[in-house]
Amino acid sequence: MSIPEENHRATAAEPARVLSPPREPVFNIPGAVLLMIALCAGVHLVRQYVLTEEQDISLLVRAAFIPIRYSGDYLFDIYAVTSTITYALLHGGWSHLIVNMVWLAAFGSPLANRLGALRFLAFWLVTAWGAVALHYALHAGSEIPLVGASGAISGMMGAAARFGFNIDRSLGRGRFSGPPLTIMESLTSRTVIVFLVVWMAVNLISGLGYLTPEDMGAVAWEAHVGGFLVGFLFIGLFGEAEPQRARLA
């Protein structure tokens, strides 16, 4: 019994379809990045829809980074320690949150895939501390709360610059590839230089109050620079996780 020609073509094509490499998922965000996005979004939802205005102000006083807490005649308490971390989970409005989470997904995903979850979270902490350190150095007497994950995310951008923005997708998980460039190699890379010029220009313009939605408030460009410098200078200290192929359902 002969096989119809169209059925024969379909049968012959089947092995090729089975053996062809799977497509990379459109949304392939590592768990550590999803965790930070969920934390930031969850905190903002609670502030918007659960807490009263008075409770929200109380939360800001305790969880935001307020420079004068370390400079004035204030009692040094547990919040002076924890606020150097918790400030990064608070955001000034929906626009602030959404913009930061988009950049977190874009730059955090290849970094988390390279570092692994624990190293990525450690990187988040160190760059968040670097952001508030420079902000404090320049605004030690300020009473204005600093909030937002953009300092840590700027650190991820700094790390990306040290990899020349090279991403390896061969294992189904986009990850920054190769050893980090030396600082001199980074600063002589056309791609990195163009990024740095654009990044600094955007921060300068935003810091002057332009191109930012009304609900975002003033942009703390100093914190961005602090986080970026820590990520750029020290990414090599965080090592590299064993690469793993993405598991497809």
Q: Three-state SS for 65?
A: strand
Q: Which helix (H) or strand (E) holds 175?
A: strand 175-176
CA distance 59 to 50: 12
Does position 211 have pLDDT exceeding 70, yes or no? no
- pLDDT value of position 77: 86
Structure pTM? 0.83
- Rounded to whole angstroms, the Cα distance separating 146 from 67 reads 8
Whether 23 shows a pLDDT value over 90: the answer reads no
User: What is residue 209's predicted lDDT score, i.e. its pLDDT?
Assistant: 65
Work out the number of other CB atoms within 10 angstroms of the CB of residue 205. 14
Mean pLDDT across the chain: 85
| Phi, psi at 147, each rounded to 5° | -135, 155
pLDDT surpasses 90 at 122? yes
Residue 24 predicted with pLDDT over 50: no
First CA to last CA across the chain, in angstroms? 38
Residue 10 has pLDDT above 50, yes or no: no
Map residue 153 onto helix, strand or coil. helix
Give the mean model confidence (pLDDT) for residues 65-91.
90
**Cα(71)–Cα(51) distance, rounded to whole angstroms?**
29
Higher pLDDT, 226 or 11: 226
Domains and CATH numbers, the chain: 30-238 (1.20.1540.10)
**Confidence grade of residue 81 (pLDDT, cut at 50, 70, 90):** very high
The C-alpha atoms of residue 192 and residue 200 are separated, in whole angstroms, by: 12
Measure the CA–CA gap between 201 and 45, rounded to whole angstroms: 32
Q: What is the DSSP string of 88-99?
A: GG--SSHHHHHH
Question: Residue 9's pLDDT is what?
Answer: 40
pLDDT confidence of residue 220: 84
Q: Is 102 helix (H, G, I), strand (E, B) or coil?
A: helix
Q: Is the dihedral of CA 67, 71, 77, 78 positive or negative?
A: positive
Long-range contacts of 165-169 (CB under 8 A, 24+ apart): 165/191, 165/192, 165/195, 167/110, 169/24
- Integer Cα distance of 50 and 184 in angstroms: 50
Check residue 53 and give its pLDDT: 96
